[in-house]
């Protein structure tokens, strides 16, 4: 298949935590995207490896194996340097003038999705309403299995 798939934090949290509300959906998606290039933004990595996850050794080891020894495809960690300043400005602008409230992580993801130099075929999120506009503009298919 060899598609480029951008991931949101919710997918990883659901994949790693059997008690997460999106655990089953994340596992189904993991099977669907087997063998593709997975784009994992650094801000999502920060959210995923929170203090809570860092204290859960088995889950942390599972994530480490997925990132550094991917058996299901390649994992590409995308740096946020080109996106973070505009994303921060957009958090304030969107809230103040458009009445939208995006987290800084979501705003960085929105900037990555806007970047025509980043090839993205699919975007995995459990919060599709915050990304539908950009995905539609770029013809990126949303994968959201709530």
Sheet order of strands, 122-124 included: 73-78, 36-41, 4-7, 122-124, 141-143
- The domain tally of the chain equals 1
Q: Is residue 14 a part of any domain in this protein? A: yes
The domain that contains 14 carries what CATH number?
Answer: 3.40.50
Q: Is residue 70 a part of any domain in this protein? A: yes
| Bridge partners of residue 73, in order along the sequence | 36
pLDDT at position 19 is 93
pLDDT surpasses 90 at 2: no
At 22-33, the pLDDT tens digits run 999 999 999 889
Stretch 1-15: mean pLDDT, rounded?
93
Q: Is residue 49 a part of any domain in this protein? A: yes
Task: Show the tokens assigned to 29.
Answer: 């998606």
Q: Would you place residue 145 in the very low, low, confident or very high pLDDT band (cuts 50, 70, 90)?
A: confident
Q: Is residue 94 a part of any domain in this protein? A: no
- Exposed, middle or buried, 9 (CB in 10 Å: 0-12/13-18/19+)? buried
At 21-60, the pLDDT tens digits run 999 999 999 988 988 999 999 999 999 999 888 899 999 9
Task: Show the tokens assigned to 117.
Answer: 């130099």
**Are 126 and 144 spatial neighbours (Cβ–Cβ below 8 Å)?**
yes
| Bridge partners of residue 77, in order along the sequence | 40
């Amino acid at each position: 298949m060899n598609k480029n798939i951008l991931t949101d934090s919710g997918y990883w949290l659901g994949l790693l935590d059997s008690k997460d509300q999106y655990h089953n959906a994340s596992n189904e998606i993991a099977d669907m995207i087997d063998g593709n290039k997975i784009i994992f933004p650094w801000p999502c990595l920060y959210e995923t490896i929170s203090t809570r996850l860092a204290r859960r050794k088995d889950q942390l080891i599972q994530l480490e194996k997925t990132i550094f020894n991917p058996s299901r495809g390649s994992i590409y960690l995308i740096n946020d340097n080109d996106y973070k300043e505009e994303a921060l400005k957009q958090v304030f602008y969107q809230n103040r003038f458009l009445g939208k409230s995006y987290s800084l992580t979501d705003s960085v993801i929105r900037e990555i999705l806007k970047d025509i130099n980043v090839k993205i075929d699919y975007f995995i999120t459990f919060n599709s309403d915050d990304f539908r506009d950009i995905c539609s503009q770029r013809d990126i298919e949303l994968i959201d299995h709530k």
